[in-house]
Amino acid sequence: MRVLVTGATGFVGSALVPVLASREGIIVRTALRKLQAQSVAVESVVVGEIDTGTDWATALSGVDVVVHLAARVHVMRDRATDPLAEFRRTNVSGSVRLAEQASVAGVRRVVYLSSIKVNGESGVFRESDPEAPEDAYGVSKREAELGLREIARRTGLDVVIIRSPLVYGPNVKGNFERLMRTVGRGIPLPLGDVHNLRSLVSLDNLVDMLATCVVHPDAANQLFLVSDGEDLSTTALITRLCRAMGRPPRLIPVPVAVLNCCAAMLGKRAVANRLLGSLRVDIAKANRVLGWSPPVSVDDGLNRAVRGR
């Protein structure tokens, strides 16, 4: 089986490629925006920028399964004049073009990494729940899913969609990296009395789920949510991060209502929602259909993230 991985040098892709390459019977090919070194010796094809004009023919030749990870990711301080148009160019148009050419090339399955932002920013989500994205990134991922499903309906291409919450692990960037850096410096945080619950997924668990969906026959044309299977409050997350770092937690118990009020005055409602609000995903379907459960515990995942800083 030959598997093409897009976004192969990104955070998720650079962890997935060696796992797939180690599996017997799998030949990995990577699709790159530009030629660059990779952690393992695999076939590589440079495809350039991913949009409606990308030529995937060479990359798709002889491929059985595509794992589509490449995307314009969520940007905290987006400087684009029209962020939604930029997200659509890569995430929607680029994904649809890949799937269309994959169906022509005889590819059997596309495994698409989406986002729980398709469902929304807060709540408890299952695969059957309605979709309610609240930002441009979430909207673009939902539209990409719809586009891929339409191609699947029209051509018979098998499309598997995985919606992920926040991913953490070695070399993580963004909000999780900032949180680890803050905790590592021993800065006191007013988050000692937060009783929300949020789902996260370690890089190892996400990679294992992706690899499972590459080969499992019952994954065909399914949507799955993925997480570590253990939801944490912000207070608990920081406490366990401190344990992984060998540091005592420095948490000040401040009422959530006070924190929300301060965030509103500072124009930081979105930041407050991520720290104080709840977002949970139910992974029962993955267990029921695929027999999948997270192989790595939260504490092991946090330890690996800390060691990989």
Domain final residue, candidates 147, 164, 181 = 164
Decide if 209 is inside a domain: no
Domain region containing 29: 2-164
DSSP 8-class letter at 192: T
Number of structural domains in the chain = 2
Binning pLDDT at 50, 70 and 90, where does residue 296 land? Answer: very high
Binning pLDDT at 50, 70 and 90, where does residue 99 land? Answer: very high
Domain match, 25 and 137 both: yes
The answer to whether residue 75 scores a pLDDT higher than 80 is: no
137 is catalytic: yes
Decide if 219 is inside a domain: no
Task: Tell me the CATH number at 65.
Answer: 3.40.50.720
Decide if 205 is inside a domain: no
**Whole-structure pTM value:** 0.92
Domain match, 264 and 160 both: no
Question: Residues 228, 299: contact at Cβ < 8 Å?
Answer: no
Residue 239: what residue type?
T
Domain match, 46 and 153 both: yes
**Crossing angle for the helix pair 269-276 and 256-265, to the nearest 10 degrees:** 160
Domain match, 181 and 300 both: yes
What integer is the mean pLDDT of 273-279? 90
Domain match, 160 and 173 both: no
Domain match, 251 and 140 both: no
Binning pLDDT at 50, 70 and 90, where does residue 67 land? Answer: very high
For residue 181, which of 14, 272, 305 has the smallest C-alpha distance? 305
Decide if 188 is inside a domain: yes
Task: Tell me the CATH number at 180.
Answer: 3.90.25
Domain match, 120 and 237 both: no
Domain final residue, candidates 164, 190, 209 = 164
pLDDT at 235: 95
Domain match, 148 and 185 both: no
**Crossing angle for the helix pair 13-21 and 203-215, to the nearest 10 degrees:** 50
Among residues 87, 112, 125, 137, which one is catalytic?
Answer: 137
Decide if 93 is inside a domain: yes
Domain match, 32 and 155 both: yes
